[in-house]
Amino acid sequence: SQTIHQWPATLVQPVGSPLSLECTVEGTSNPNLYWYRQAAGRGLQLLFYSVGIGQISSEVPQNLSASRPQDRQFILSSKKLLLSDSGFYLCAWAKGTTNEKLFFGSGTQLSVL
Amino acid sequence: AQSVAQPEDQVNVAEGNPLTVKCTYSVSGNPYLFWYVQYPNRGLQFLLKYITGDNLVKGSYGFEAEFNKSQTSFHLKKPSALVSDSALYFCAVRDRTYNTDKLIFGTGTRLQVFP
């Protein structure tokens, strides 16, 4: 069966420090991968998605970037964090060729101080 | 562009009563609609989806949703609410236009079920 791993669960970082959040999927190949951010326990904002290795689509201009170095690995990064980067970050995957559901990771709570 | 709207920030209902969480959509082409639930500090869990076929879709935990094309709605329902249903609920639409494949979420509705 397929599983998605996202880490760390919580992270406290100072303003100006770098960020790297990692997400990996097991048990499937060539998944679509997504990064969402949720602010203050409300709506989800799609940040990045990827339909294949090295293919990254950015939804909103921001201080973050994403990379997909391997088929089942999706990394969210920043060179210098801002206070406004605080939030709950969720990674998700879906089968690319169907209209099946997204499977979500357990999320990372990022606090930038 | 595809979008969904959830007009209610919060819905309050007494345990044992029926519940409805509203969602309307705006899409070009056939809509692919989903409902997800989120418990505190957790990822989202899939409840149900509408792709095609029967307008009444049954999902997890006794939830169901009715697809209404004329009203462009996809409301989530449950005949008898439980306190444990209290959570944040998201409606979503999948956007699979050319070179795009993403899930667009509504702003969420907090369901509070009172004992």
Per-residue pLDDT of chain A (113 residues; tens, 9 = 90+): 888 999 999 999 999 999 999 999 999 889 999 999 987 756 888 899 898 898 998 887 678 999 999 999 999 999 999 999 999 999 999 886 555 788 999 999 999 99
Q: Which residues of B are less than 8 Å from A52 in CB distance?
A: none
Report residues of chain B scoring pLDDT below 70. 98-99
Rg of chain A (C-alpha set): 13
Q: How far is CA A102 from each of CA A39, A91, B47, B49, B113, rounded to the nearest angstrom?
A: 20, 10, 11, 11, 27
Touching check for A17 and chain B: CB below 8 Å?
no
Of the partner residues A46, A101, A107, the one whose CB lies closest to the CB of residue B46: A101
- Would you call A44 and B105 a contact, using CB atoms and an 8 Å cutoff? yes
Write down the pLDDT at residue A102: 87
Touching check for A74 and chain B: CB below 8 Å?
no
- Taking the CA of residue B91 and the nearest CA in chain A, the distance in Å comes to 10
Write down the pLDDT at residue B76: 98
Chain A residue whose CA is closest to B38: A41
- Taking the CA of residue B2 and the nearest CA in chain A, the distance in Å comes to 13
- Would you call A32 and B106 a contact, using CB atoms and an 8 Å cutoff? no
Chain B residue whose CA is closest to A50: B101
Residue carrying structure tokens 């997204």: A102
What count of residues does chain A have? 113
CA separation for the pair A50, A69 (Å, rounded): 11
DSSP string, chain A: --EEEEE-SEEEE-TT--EEEEEEEES-SS-EEEEEEESTTS-EEEEEEEEETTEEEESS-SS-EEEEEETTEEEEEESS--GGG-EEEEEEEE-TTS-PPPEE---EEEEE-
The model's pLDDT over B46-59, given as tens digits with 9 standing for 90+, comes to: 999 998 888 999 99
Write down the pLDDT at residue A97: 59
Measured over all CA atoms, what is the biggest interatomic distance in chain A, rounded to whole angstroms?
A: 41
Touching check for A11 and chain B: CB below 8 Å?
no
